[in-house]
Structure 1
Amino acid sequence: MYHPYARGKQNELLALRESANILADASFVPIIEPVRSLLTGLERALKEITDAGGRAIVIVNPRHGELQADGSAIGDLLDQHYQSNDAISAGILLHSNLSTTAAVALIDAHADHYPVVIHAGFTEARALAEALGDRAQSFTHVFVEDQASTLYRRHFDGATRILLHDGFEALNNADYGSVDPFSDLHVTFPEFGVQGYGDFLTVGDRYREGGGPAYAVAIHLTYIDPDNDDEMLVQHFVSDTNGTPSDTAGKFREALDKLIAEVDSGHSKILGTSGVDEFRRLHASGHYPGLGFVKKLSMRHHIETLANYHAP
């Protein structure tokens, strides 16, 4: 049903590892695009997920990061640990620079790893559907919403189809307002003729290798609004002392003070997840864990919020 798309940076992989039981219990299937040549973190994340009884999709031809020129090491990892194991599928990323011939070759090369086809800017939908023939319906097809139109998606009718929406607008931290819309796909995805949905968590699809100095610190927490047809929104908690890049820990404290005030207000719609509990512990201790850790907690909270929404 739900497919969180994570790039294989340390804290994104940690968020998946720490959410492994929640992912498995909810039948959520993360999509992981490895971006680091060292695959130790990916291996650990996959082990945690499969040990919990979950599933994952690993992109074998990343578009970003250190493996974009040669993803063979990812295929080797799948061969060594997940040969003919349907818990881990090979994700075939179809982007604008890929030809139909190359796309089919990638799918065939990973036939033993239950390939999932991810459409992200590919332009030859008709040719691919014709080249695959009846096989096209045997694959799961994941469509990045703004890179695969409704007309494009029609070529794969009859297959299991997943729609990915980027609900997070990446801005300079100081430019965030209080609340922004995030997504309604968790409610509306069946109306698009698809069997599942996904997003890019509280990070967004835009890939950045590293950030500059933190003039402002922002913590992003999603929530579902039962008073607005269960739409998901994202609330931003932004520091106030944003004139210089100094004292990141102090800026974090300012943002965290706002977060705790909101969740303790008595009227907040933010779910009391394990991520929120960790923010409470950080607030009580006065500890600053680093911005990557903060991002990890935000992603964990997002996954847990959706798991709670879909719980029977």
Structure 2
Amino acid sequence: MRYFPYFRGRQYDLRALQAFAQTPFNNITPIIEPVRDIPALPQTLTDFIQADQPIALVLNPRVGHYHFDAPAKHPIQSVLATGAVTPAFILSPLLPPEQLEAHPTAIVIVQHFDDLALFLARDWLPETLTLLVPPEARIRRQLRDRPFGHLVDHFVPGEYATDTAQLMDSFFSDDRSFAATFGEIGFSDFLTVGQPYSEHGFPTKAVTLHLTYLKDGRVRIRHFQSDDHADFRHQREKFFQALTKAVMWINQAPTINQTPATDQLLTLANEHHFPGMGIIKALTLTHHLTMMNRYLNY
């Protein structure tokens, strides 16, 4: 069973991956859809290669402003030339079948049933591909003899991040059991960020820290939200309101739900330091990766 966390290549996504690459883990292959030409992208790929850990890169990104055919300030071609980065593709009618023939062990992200049906009908999908598909019965029926896993977005934030105030603790996923039930080779999600992509992000009235944890063999998620959410001001103060709640939970959590990332949150609380929301998002993502590594071996 393998976990394929799906990242957009924003700065905080790559920061989380760089931190995770320095820790021991098994059966996890992160997928990066590049969205910006930034130095952290080639560095992240290099970090995983040097750690002898798998990493995949989407070669036909659909969001953001990364173009493989355009001159890059921070090129990655030399990294890709090592052959250590697994190619990935988003399936669409615009994807040349020759690309899949040239990369028969690639990961293919299927978003729509009709796209999959087209490529299967034309015999454009080598059987050695790993397919990540929506968890639909009609799709599973088409893939009985192929290696596939499911991709689903478990994270649905409320408007302006205030709707979670009434739901501090909720079920997140039990993908391992779901995948095993249907004979899948693994599963993928959009972590604790969600599938919708925004180039520059947007301000929120509330600051919320989302921390996943394990209970009874399943993944749950805690939402620690600031008390103030009347307007978009005072992000620093709101962060400490949310962090105070998170610290209370972390200090009482069993060891299996404590990670190097939660240790860093405790340090930030002790030092009363606000490093910026990008750093905080990276910490919560690194925490999620660590929890999913434990979930696979729970």
Q: Give me the TM-score of the superposition, normalised by structure 1.
A: 0.86
Give 1:125's aligned residue.
116
CA contact (8 A) 1:223 1:269 kept: no
Q: Which of the residues 250, 253, 262 maps onto 2:237?
A: 250
| 1:10 partner letter | Q
> Per the alignment, do residues 84 and 295 of structure 1 end up closer, same or farther by CA in structure 2, a change over 3 Å counting?
closer
* Residues 132-181 of structure 1, C-alpha deviations (whole Å, 9 max, x = no match): 36x63111111144xxx321243333222121121111222121120122
Give 2:187's aligned residue.
197
Secondary structure at the aligned position of 1:240 is classed as coil
Q: Are 2:276 and 1:290 equivalent residues in the alignment?
A: yes
Give identity over the alignment, percent.
28
Q: Distance in 2 between matches of 1:127 and 1:113?
A: 18
Report which structure shows greater RCO (CA 8 Å, sep ≥6).
Answer: 2
Deviation, 1:103, is: 4.1
CA contact (8 A) 1:34 1:62 kept: yes
Q: Distance in 1 between matches of 2:250 and 2:230?
A: 27
CA contact (8 A) 2:104 2:128 kept: no
Give 2:97's aligned residue.
104
* Deviates further, 213-222 or 6-15: 213-222
Give 2:142's aligned residue.
155
Q: Are 2:35 and 1:35 equivalent residues in the alignment?
A: yes
Secondary structure at the aligned position of 1:50 is classed as helix
| 1:217 partner letter | V
Q: Give me the TM-score of the superposition, normalised by structure 2.
A: 0.90
Give 2:80's aligned residue.
82
CA contact (8 A) 1:104 1:132 kept: no
Secondary structure at the aligned position of 2:239 is classed as helix
Give 1:116's aligned residue.
107
CA contact (8 A) 1:275 1:298 kept: yes
May I ask how many residue pairs the two structures share in their alignment? 293
Give 2:132's aligned residue.
142
Q: Which of the residues 127, 149, 152 maps onto 1:165?
A: 152
| 1:62 partner letter | P
Q: Are 2:65 and 1:72 equivalent residues in the alignment?
A: no
Runs of at least 5 residues in structure 2 that lack an aligned partner in the other structure = none
Deviation, 1:114, is: 3.9
Q: Distance in 1 between matches of 2:70 and 2:130?
A: 23
Give 1:175's aligned residue.
163
1:178-257 equivalences under 5 Å are: 178-226=168-216, 230-257=217-244
* Residues 11-70 of structure 1, C-alpha deviations (whole Å, 9 max, x = no match): 101101110144x6313100110011x142211111111111111111011111113xx4
Q: Which of the residues 237, 254, 265 maps onto 1:279?
A: 265
Secondary structure at the aligned position of 1:216 is classed as coil
> Per the alignment, do residues 121 and 130 of structure 1 end up closer, same or farther by CA in structure 2, a change over 3 Å counting?
closer
Q: Distance in 2 between matches of 1:79 and 1:235?
A: 40
Q: Distance in 2 between matches of 1:154 and 1:50?
A: 36
> Per the alignment, do residues 267 and 125 of structure 1 end up closer, same or farther by CA in structure 2, a change over 3 Å counting?
closer
Secondary structure at the aligned position of 2:126 is classed as helix
Deviation, 1:118, is: 1.2
Between Structure 1 and Structure 2, which shows a larger proportion of helix residues? Answer: 1
> Per the alignment, do residues 118 and 262 of structure 1 end up closer, same or farther by CA in structure 2, a change over 3 Å counting?
same
Q: Distance in 1 between matches of 2:291 and 2:71?
A: 31
